[in-house]
Amino acid sequence: MLIIGCGNRERADDGAGLQVAEQLCRRGFQAVCHTGDSLSLIDLWSNAEDVILVDAVVTGNAPPGTVWNWNADRPLSALRPSASSHGFGVAEAIELAHKLGLLPPGLCIYGIEATNFAIGEEMSLAVEDTVQQLVQQLAAEATQSARMDARTFGGAKS
């Protein structure tokens, strides 16, 4: 399982995905920070079977810190903020990869509802709290997935 955190550290809540990835990486999980253009995500996940992508989103439908969860096989219209800090956004990269047949077999997106994208400001408390909760949740999911993979592999070999 590959965990990708997207965002911009310098833009307050937009660094949420990066913080999730950094903390999971420190715990020994396969997690990377992605700060580049969204199109390069396709190369980043090209050899992965299961990918979890974490990014800040603005849906306008929930308070800051709310966690949204999408599978790449569902419409990603809620991932299209009116003004993306990514230019060509994550949702567009996912849709392009889908059309080109370049999505990983399992792609799950966690969006953290954000409110503050001001340059040089601190992350809002609601988003910061959610980052910590999501790190715990994803660590548990990744650990469980690794155990299941080990059992499946072990069972297939016996």
The tens digit of pLDDT for each residue in 23-40 reads: 999 999 999 999 988 888
Whole-number pLDDT of residue 58: 92
E strands of the chain, at which residues? 2-6, 31-34, 50-57, 67-71, 106-113
Whole-number pLDDT of residue 157: 42
The HSE-up count of residue 27 (CA atoms within 13 Å, CB side) is 18
Q: How far apart are CA 143 and CA 17, in angstroms?
A: 19
List, for residues 30-86, the tens digit of each pLDDT value. Answer: 999 999 888 889 999 999 999 999 999 998 889 999 999 988 765 555 444 433 444
> What's the token pair of residue 33?
């920070």
Residue 53 amino acid letter: L
Q: In this structure, are strands 106-113 and 67-71 parallel, antiparallel, or unpaired? A: antiparallel
List, for residues 106-154, the tens digit of each pLDDT value. Answer: 999 999 999 999 999 999 999 999 999 999 999 999 888 777 666 655 5
Averaged pLDDT of the chain = 86
H or E element in which residue 142 lies: helix 125-157
Range of the domain at 59: 2-157
Phi, psi of 120 (to 5 degrees): 80, 0
Report pTM.
0.85
Q: How many domains does the chain have?
A: 1
> The domain that contains 111 carries what CATH number?
3.40.50.1450
Say what the alpha-carbon torsion angle 7, 8, 12, 15 is, to the nearest 10 degrees.
40
For 93, 107, 134, 156, the CA distances from 25, given in Å and listed in that order, are: 24, 19, 14, 29
